[in-house]
Amino acid sequence: MKKIILLSFGISLFVFSGIHNIKAQAVEKGTIIIDPYYGFPNLGKSFAEGLSSSDVTVKGVGPAGMRVEYLLADRFGVGVDFIYNSFTGTYTDTSNGTTYDYEAKMARTRVHVRFNYHLKASSENLDLYFGMGAGTNGRTWSSTTNDPAGSDENTSGTLLPFSARLAFGMRYYFTENIGINSEIAIGGPLMSVGLSVKF
């Protein structure tokens, strides 16, 4: 339900804002923007839950991250996007009168160089943009257990060490410097929401 409300809010802002040519803009050349955000869904966690038995507990973090952007011109910005997500599966075996714990974790980190093109909006508080980014794609896998017959393992690697992202986003500023952000994208979180701070 929370996801539906957030999606409806973002779409409503876009629909009611319109895109018109006016001079007032929420951002301009020289502006620095910092966007901490949280996204959904955590596809790795959802996939692990689908494969796991009822005895396995699966938890996840993210996707979460932070974008930093600097506007080189009124409409064009460049920056960095850091994206992190993970999921952990835990299992406890109490057979044979002894309790053994097992845990497996996957963590994924992406760092993208980011380019945004900002649209003219109908409000000086609203910032609409298209973005694209590309960069690293790293994964680590680890497992731990107190079972003497098992062993702890750590490994890293991924099928593709490269990742990319295409996004449409908006920021709405309640004050001159503080607002909210939302993105719908391919690559990284499908949808994200968070805070925006500009200088």
Tens of pLDDT, residue by residue over 13-71, are: 444 444 444 446 788 899 999 999 999 887 767 666 666 666 788 888 889 999 999 99
Place of tokens 């973090």: 61
* CATH code (residue 30): 2.40.160.20
pLDDT at 175 over 90: yes
Report, as an integer, the average pLDDT of 155-175.
91
CA-to-CA separations, 178 to 75, 147, 189, in angstroms, rounded: 20, 51, 23
**CA–CA distance, 195 with 180 (Å, rounded to integer):** 4
pTM of the model: 0.79
- Of residues 4 and 147, more confidence is placed in 147
Q: What's the pLDDT score for residue 48?
A: 67
How many independent structural domains does the chain possess? 1
Task: Domain of residue 142: give its range.
Answer: 2-198
